[in-house]
Amino acid sequence: MPARPPAATRRTAVGAALLGLVAVGGCDLDDLDPRSDPAPGSGEPSEPPADADADLVETVVTALSTALAATSAVPPRDRAALRPLARLHRRHLAELGADEPVEGGVASMTAAQVRSREERLQRRLADWSVQAESGELARVLASMSAAVAQQLALPAPRPRGAGGGS
């Protein structure tokens, strides 16, 4: 009887999904501005239509800024473990065209509390990707959700001094 190939791990599946989303999505929001499109049936420019996703983008930017601030609200010994998430949130904010957020304003919390908040953020990003009017924005938000999930799937580094030596 031939040997069965090994089953794909969760990390492999999430990584493949993330790569697929990035490859298909392109992660470029410059084409989302509907104000550059002329009004149908008229040769003259008209009042720019309201961007249906502007409020959604503002909501996402606020959530990402809060998540970024939370990565700095942990004790200094635990911050190193959260640096990959902080870098990820900075890249996502830049992708959405947000100014560099001011970190702070979040109460002190543990690394476990931050990871729990990140899990909620990941689910919210997935929900927001479904709510997006623009397909391009939907792909970007889904890609962001997958990237957060990928970071959370990595084993949490052990705090310094937790070596278990005798």
Query: pLDDT tens across 122-147, in order?
Result: 999 999 999 999 999 999 999 999 99
- CB count within 10 Å of CB 46 equals 10
Q: Distance between terminal CA atoms of the chain? A: 48
Half-sphere exposure of 29 (CA within 13 A, CB side): 18
Query: For residues 126 and 25, what is the distance between their CA atoms, to the nearest angstrom?
Result: 14
Q: Which of 164, 161, 163, 159 is nearest to 75 (CA)?
A: 159
Element (H, E) at 73: none
Structure tokens at 155: 């084993």
**Reported pTM:** 0.64
* 117 has a pLDDT exceeding 90: yes
- CB count within 10 Å of CB 104 equals 8
Query: For residues 112 and 72, what is the distance between their CA atoms, to the nearest angstrom?
Result: 13
- CB count within 10 Å of CB 3 equals 5
Residues in Cβ contact with 77 at an 8 Å cutoff, skipping those fewer than 6 apart: 159, 160, 161
Give the model's pLDDT for residue 88.
96
pLDDT in tens, 57-116: 999 999 999 999 999 899 988 889 999 999 999 999 999 999 766 665 678 899 999 999
